[in-house]
Structure 1
Amino acid sequence: MKILLDFLPVIVFFAVYKFTGDILTATAVLIPATILQMAYSWKTQGKIEMMQIVTLVLVVLLGGATLAFQDKAFIQWKPTIVNWLFAVGFLATQFIGNKTVVERLMGGSVELPKAIWSRLNAVWVLFFIIVGFVNLYVAYNFSEEIWVDFKLFGMLGLTLVFIIVQGIYIARHAKEIESTNTK
Structure 2
Amino acid sequence: MKAVFEFLVVILFFTTYALTKNIILATEVAIAAGIIQAVWCLFKYRRLQTMQWVSLLLVVILGGATVILKNERFIMWKPTALFWVMSAGLLISHLCGKNVLKSTIGKEISMPDPAWHKLTYIWVIFLLALGALNLWVAYTFTVPQWVNFKLFGSTTILFLFLVGQTVYISQYTKKDEL
Q: Provide the TM-score with structure 2 as the length reference.
A: 0.93
Cα RMSD (Å) of the superposition? 1.7
Structure 2 stretches of 5 or more lacking a match? none
Question: Is it true that 1:159 corresponds to 2:158 in the alignment?
Answer: yes
Deviation string 1:103-133 (CA, Å, 9 cap, x unpaired) is 0111110111000001111111011101101
Give the C-alpha shift of residue 152 in structure 1.
Answer: 2.0
Distance 1:148 1:164, change over 3 A: same
Question: Is it true that 1:39 corresponds to 2:18 in the alignment?
Answer: no
Q: Is the 8 A contact 1:138 1:147 kept in 2?
A: yes
Q: Provide the TM-score with structure 1 as the length reference.
A: 0.90
Structure 1 stretches of 5 or more lacking a match? 179-183
Q: Is the 8 A contact 1:62 1:75 kept in 2?
A: yes
Provide the identity percentage.
39
Give the C-alpha shift of residue 156 in structure 1.
Answer: 1.8
Question: Is it true that 1:83 corresponds to 2:83 in the alignment?
Answer: yes
Q: Distance in 1 between matches of 2:13 and 2:119?
A: 31
Q: Is the 8 A contact 1:139 1:147 kept in 2?
A: yes
Partner amino acid, structure 1, of 2:13 = F
Deviation string 1:23-78 (CA, Å, 9 cap, x unpaired) is 10001111011112222323333321101100100100010011111111110111
Q: Is the 8 A contact 1:84 1:128 kept in 2?
A: yes
Aligned to 1:172: 171
Aligned to 1:181: none
Partner amino acid, structure 2, of 1:137 = W
- After superposition, residues 86-165 of structure 1 pair within 5 angstroms as 86-97=86-97, 99-165=98-164
Deviation string 1:129-149 (CA, Å, 9 cap, x unpaired) is 011011011111111111112
Give the C-alpha shift of residue 169 in structure 1.
Answer: 0.8
